[in-house]
């Protein structure tokens, strides 16, 4: 008995059992047994459709429908999740790609070009702070020092790979973006716009760029009762001022966000003035100019507040992604596909990073969004209506029919 007649929602439900937890969350972090179990489940679905399945040196799962003679079109997303994540983020794109292949085959469609379905390794990056690992490798970007990064248990990325039978030094052999001619990705919106407007399909026009930082403010740990307020060097107070200043800046600008999402203070006693505050900053903008302004703002704000609070400052950039304009021709193809499928659609930018933002720097790329209930993601509450995910898959298949029919 195969899953041949199942809906996309049925497949997502089955997949969510792998790494599934009480309360509905799903945990399949990078290089974990759960993630590889998901690979094996999806790999079986791919083989049922006659795809050639492999896992490349960067841990990307690739199923190739070797048909036609042109340059392959790739469709992908990711199967890894954040801890306690949802059932749709990433999984939707991979599962729908498999279903789209099935639909095209059922229709007797004969592509002029091969089709690759890809699940990229470690899109989320929560375990090793190495987000987009697989798509980075796929586009041939250097891995820098990521091999030495450790997870919460002190395991290095290099060792976690080795445990699963992978060698970090061989990752460069996964650089195959030159072999493909276009890239498509279906994803949940992870935002509230489509639901609020009652629209089924988001046609993504651009993906925001972002800058990540790690900040350490160092003051003086001291007695909470005997140290006069004006003599304190309170690192947490400095961090709080930074968080609020960035929030105020982003609030009065269109398409800009700022977030302080992780903070720890030392020594961490209820009756001790915090001597050290370590925290992260994540800022995003839709344009290159907006990002440059944000970089300047972060540096200036953190430096000014550290000086005013008499704190020593370490500001370390940890992450940089440039904004990406998606391919105008493919964006128009997605819109046509939505019309063909009778789905309502609107254009919108993506505020979240995706594998498409790396692959799309090398080949024409487009993204399709389906509505997220309540705009919630990275949570067990993440949900998209079964009818919406089915429509999303249909629009993906219809877009593929256009792309695979000619070597554009
Ligand atoms: Zn995702």
Q: How far is the CA of 274 from the centre of ligand 1 (A)?
A: 36
Q: What is the DSSP letter of 13?
A: H
Q: What is the pLDDT confidence band of residue 5, given thresholds at 50, 70 and 90?
A: low
Res 4 pLDDT > 60: no
Question: Is the Cβ–Cβ distance between 93 and 81 less than 8 Å?
Answer: no
Environment class of 109 (CB within 10 Å of its CB; exposed 0-12, middle 13-18, buried 19+) = middle
For the stretch 121-165, pLDDT in tens is 999 998 998 899 999 999 999 888 899 999 999 999 999 999 999
Q: What is the pLDDT confidence band of residue 353, given thresholds at 50, 70 and 90?
A: confident
- What does the alpha-carbon distance between residue 277 and residue 122 come to, in Å, rounded to a whole number? 28
Q: Two tokens at 342?
A: 């009778």
> What pLDDT score does 407 carry?
42
Q: How far is the CA of 213 from the centre of ligand 1 (A)?
A: 21
Q: How far is the CA of 123 from the centre of ligand 1 (A)?
A: 7
- What does the alpha-carbon distance between residue 21 and residue 42 come to, in Å, rounded to a whole number? 19
What average pLDDT does the structure give for the chain?
95
What is this structure's pTM? 0.84
Run of H or E residues at 222:
strand 222-223
Lowest mean pLDDT among 59-63, 198-202, 310-314, 349-353: 349-353
Res 207 pLDDT > 90: yes
Q: Which string of b and e fits 277-304 if b means at least 16 CB within 10 Å?
A: bbbbbbbbbbbeebbebbeebbeebbee
- What does the alpha-carbon distance between residue 389 and residue 208 come to, in Å, rounded to a whole number? 24
Q: How far is the CA of 253 from the centre of ligand 1 (A)?
A: 25
Res 67 pLDDT > 50: yes
Task: Give the mean model confidence (pLDDT) for residues 311-331.
Answer: 94
Question: Is the Cβ–Cβ distance between 246 and 389 less than 8 Å?
Answer: no
Q: How far is the CA of 231 from the centre of ligand 1 (A)?
A: 46
């Amino acid at each position: 008995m195969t899953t041949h007649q199942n809906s996309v929602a049925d497949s997502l439900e089955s997949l969510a059992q792998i790494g599934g937890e009480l309360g509905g969350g799903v945990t399949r972090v990078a290089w974990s047994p759960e993630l590889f179990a998901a690979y094996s489940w999806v790999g079986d679905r791919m083989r049922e459709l006659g795809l050639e399945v492999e896992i490349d040196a960067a841990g990307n799962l690739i199923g190739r429908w070797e048909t036609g003679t042109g340059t392959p079109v790739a469709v992908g997303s990711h199967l890894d999740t954040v801890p306690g994540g949802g059932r749709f983020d990433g999984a939707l794109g991979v599962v729908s790609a498999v279903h789209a292949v099935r639909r095209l085959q059922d229709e007797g469609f004969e592509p002029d070009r091969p089709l690759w379905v890809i699940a990229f390794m470690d899109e989320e990056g929560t375990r090793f702070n190495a987000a987009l690992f697989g798509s980075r490798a796929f586009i041939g970007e250097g891995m820098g020092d990521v091999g030495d990064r450790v997870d919460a248990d002190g395991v290095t990325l290099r060792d976690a790979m080795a445990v699963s039978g992978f060698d970090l030094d061989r990752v460069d052999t996964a650089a195959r973006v030159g072999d493909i001619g276009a890239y498509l990705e279906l994803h949940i919106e992870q935002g509230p716009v489509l639901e609020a407007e009652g629209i089924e399909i988001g046609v993504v026009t651009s993906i925001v760029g972002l800058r990540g930082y790690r900040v350490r403010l160092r003051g003086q740990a001291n007695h909470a009762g005997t140290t006069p307020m004006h003599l304190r060097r309170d690192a947490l107070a400095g961090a709080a001022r930074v968080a609020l200043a960035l929030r105020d800046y982003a609030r009065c600008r269109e398409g800009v966000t700022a977030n302080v999402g992780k903070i720890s203070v030392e020594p961490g006693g209820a009756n001790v003035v915090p001597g050290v505050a370590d925290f992260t900053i994540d800022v995003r903008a839709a344009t290159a100019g907006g990002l440059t302004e944000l970089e300047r703002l972060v540096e200036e704000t953190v430096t000014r507040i550290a000086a005013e609070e008499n704190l020593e400052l370490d500001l370390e950039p940890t992450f940089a992604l440039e904004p990406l304009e998606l391919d105008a021709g493919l964006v128009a193809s997605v819109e046509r596909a939505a019309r063909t499928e009778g789905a309502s659609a609107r254009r919108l930018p993506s505020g979240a990073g995706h594998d498409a933002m790396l692959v799309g720097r090398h080949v024409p790329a487009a993204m399709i969004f389906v509505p997220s209930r309540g705009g919630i993601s990275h949570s067990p509450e993440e949900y998209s209506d079964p009818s919406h995910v089915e429509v999303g898959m249909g629009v993906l298949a219809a877009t593929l029919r256009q792309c695979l029919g000619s070597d554009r």
